[in-house]
Structure 1
């Protein structure tokens, strides 16, 4: 585990349990999405329909207000 991730967990421990659970849910969802994305990119048989579906889901999430406006590379 990196030092930065350790620090994040240490800081999260200071928060109320419900906030810790929210952060944990967000992190687990991010990890799941990252693993799916890596799997998709690593698969040489990936067809464009899968990527189109992912793009459509992202657009729907944006329309539902589930995204944040950020510049490229911003965290």
Structure 2
């Protein structure tokens, strides 16, 4: 399977049980990929401004317990 269309076609032909297994696998795969990207962004300092803004709001008492 080398193209997105081929992947889509293969997925559309899965049985309900296979589709459920694929969903579970993809959820884990996607979460791991997202986690790796967040780690890269943190290491590169891309989230520093957001963290500083959140800490500023916390110091100013603008955060509340939910």
TM-score (norm 2): 0.53
Number of aligned pairs? 44
Task: State the Cα deviation string for residues 21-75 of structure 1 (Å, max 9, x = none).
Answer: 11121112101110001101111389xxxxxxxxxxxxxxxxxxxxxxxxxxxxx
The structure whose residues are more often helix, as a share, is 2
Structure 2, unmatched stretches of 5+, are 46-66
Query: Taking structure 1 as reference, are residues 19 and 45 closer, same or farther at Cα in structure 2, changes over 3 Å only?
Result: same
Structure 1, unmatched stretches of 5+, are 47-75
Task: Report runs of 4+ in structure 1 exceeding 6 Å deviation.
Answer: none
Please report the RMSD computed on the Cα atoms of aligned residues, expressed in angstroms. 2.3
